[in-house]
Homo-oligomer: A and B are copies of this chain.
Amino acid sequence: MEGKIETLWNEVRELNLGTSGELDRLDFPPTPLQFLRDFVSQNKPCIISNATHHWPALTRWTSDSYLTSALSSSHVSLHLTPHGRADALVPSPSSSSLCFASAHVQRTPFPEALRLITAAKNDASSFVAYAQQQNNCFPSEYSPLAADCDPHIQFATEALGCRPEAVNMWIGDERSTTSFHKDHYENLYAVVTGQKHFLLLPPTDVHRMYVREYPAAQYSYSPVTGEFELEMESPARSVPWSSVDPYPAPEDSSSSLSKFPLFFNGPKPFCCTINPGEMLYLPSMWFHHVRQSPDSRGRTIAVNYWYDMQFDIKYAYFNFLQSIQCPPIESQTLAETVQEDLDSDAPEKTEDE
C-alpha cells in the first residue's frame, strides 16, 4: 500500500501540478471561466499578480497613523501566545505528550492591539500578538477599512457562484507562524504589506502530514503577572492536527527525519512567497504552513477570502485515501505518545489561514 500511495503523490505532480515545486503564476486576474477550469476544478493552486492593484489598502495600510485613526474606536480580536504559535502542538501541561494549544484571545481597542503587536517584540519576557480571527472579522471588526479593499473577489465570486463565506484580516509579524493544516474552503489570500511564505502539499499527500488526534488546550494570559497558563479544555476535546514541523530546530532535525520520514523524504512541498499586491489561490483541502516577513515597519498585513467548497468526488476520494493507514501503525516510529484512532469523519478545525 505504501508504494501505491507514493505513486499517487508522484502522479498528481507529473500529470497536473508539476514537479518543480513552483506554482503557476498569472500576471493578471483570470476570467471566472479560466479560474474555474484551470484551477478550482483541478484543485490546483496559483499565484495571481496585479489582482489588487486598485485597492487603496496597498498604500493606506502602510501607515500606522492611518490605521489607528480609521480604527480609533474599533475593538479587534487579538491572539496572544508565548511564542507566536497559535493552533499548534506544544507539550501538554498534564502529561508527557503533546496537546493542541489555542491562543488567548482578547477583544482589544485597535490602537492598543497595534501597539502590542509591535511593542511585544522588544520585551523578551512577554508574548507574541497576532490580530486575527477567522469568523469573517474583516467586515465586522474592521468595518471602517471596508472601502480600502474589495468585499469579495469578483472573478472568484462569479466562478464559484457565491459571495465569500468569510473575509478575514491578519496583522502580525515574523514571530507568528501557522502550523500545517487544511481548510474546507476555497481560499483567496491577498497580501497587503510584508510577505507571506507558504509551504503547500496537495490533499493526496495526507499521510505525509502525520495527522493525529491531540487533546485541546487553551492559553490564558494574565496581564498582571505577564505570564501564560496552558489548561486542557474541559470537557475534553480532541483535534486532528498535523504532527509535522517543517522547520525543526537544528538539534531536532535528525529526530524529525526519523519521526516524519514520509514528509522529509517525499516530494518537496510547493513553496511560494506572496508579496503585496499578489494573491494566492489556495485550493480547498490543501495542507499549508504559513510564515511571514514584515514590511519596514515590522508588520505583515493580509486579507483572505474563504469561499464554500464543493463536497464532490474529490472530497470523497480524499476521505477514502485518509481512511487508509500508511505506513502501517506497527512500523511507525513516532516518539510522542499520541492517539492513533484516526477518524476520517472527525470534523477538522478550520479556523486558520
Residues of A within 8 A of B (CB): 1, 4-5, 7-8, 11-12, 15-16, 32-34, 36-37, 40-44, 158-161, 202-204, 310-321, 323-324
5 A-B interface contacts by CB (under 8 A)? A7-B320, A8-B317, A16-B313, A44-B312, A317-B321
Residues of B within 8 A of A312 (CB): 12, 15-16, 41-44
**Closest chain B residue to A161, Cβ basis:** B37
Q: How far is the CA of A83 from the CA of B160 in the complex (A)?
A: 48
Please tell me how many copies of the chain the complex holds.
Answer: 2
Given A4-B320, A320-B8, A324-B4, is A313 in contact with B43 using a C-beta cutoff of 8 Å?
yes
A33:B159 contact, CB within 8 angstroms: yes
Given A16-B311, A314-B314, is A41 in contact with B44 using a C-beta cutoff of 8 Å?
no
Residues of B within 8 A of A202 (CB): 313
Q: How far is the CA of A8 from the CA of B344 in the complex (A)?
A: 12
Q: Which of B15, B16, B41, B319 contacts A40 (CB 8 A)?
A: B41
Q: How far is the CA of A36 from the CA of B310 in the complex (A)?
A: 12
Q: How far is the CA of A189 from the CA of B4 in the complex (A)?
A: 35
Residues of B within 8 A of A4 (CB): 320, 323-324
Residues of B within 8 A of A203 (CB): 313
**Closest chain B residue to A10, Cβ basis:** B316
Question: What is the distance, in angstroms, from A302's C-beta to the closest C-beta of chain B?
Answer: 26
Residues of B within 8 A of A161 (CB): 33-34, 37
Residues of B within 8 A of A318 (CB): 317
Question: What is the distance, in angstroms, from A84's C-beta to the closest C-beta of chain B?
Answer: 33
Q: How far is the CA of A10 from the CA of B327 in the complex (A)?
A: 26
Question: What is the distance, in angstroms, from A188's C-beta to the closest C-beta of chain B?
Answer: 16
B37:A313 contact, CB within 8 angstroms: no
Q: How far is the CA of A8 from the CA of B314 in the complex (A)?
A: 11
A310:B42 contact, CB within 8 angstroms: yes
Q: How far is the CA of A42 from the CA of B208 in the complex (A)?
A: 26
Question: What is the distance, in angstroms, from A313's C-beta to the closest C-beta of chain B?
Answer: 5
Residues of B within 8 A of A317 (CB): 8, 204, 314, 317-318, 321
**Closest chain B residue to A316, Cβ basis:** B12
Q: How far is the CA of A203 from the CA of B310 in the complex (A)?
A: 18
Residues of B within 8 A of A320 (CB): 4-5, 7-8, 11, 204, 321
Residues of B within 8 A of A310 (CB): 16, 41-42
A316:B204 contact, CB within 8 angstroms: yes
Residues of B within 8 A of A319 (CB): 7-8, 11
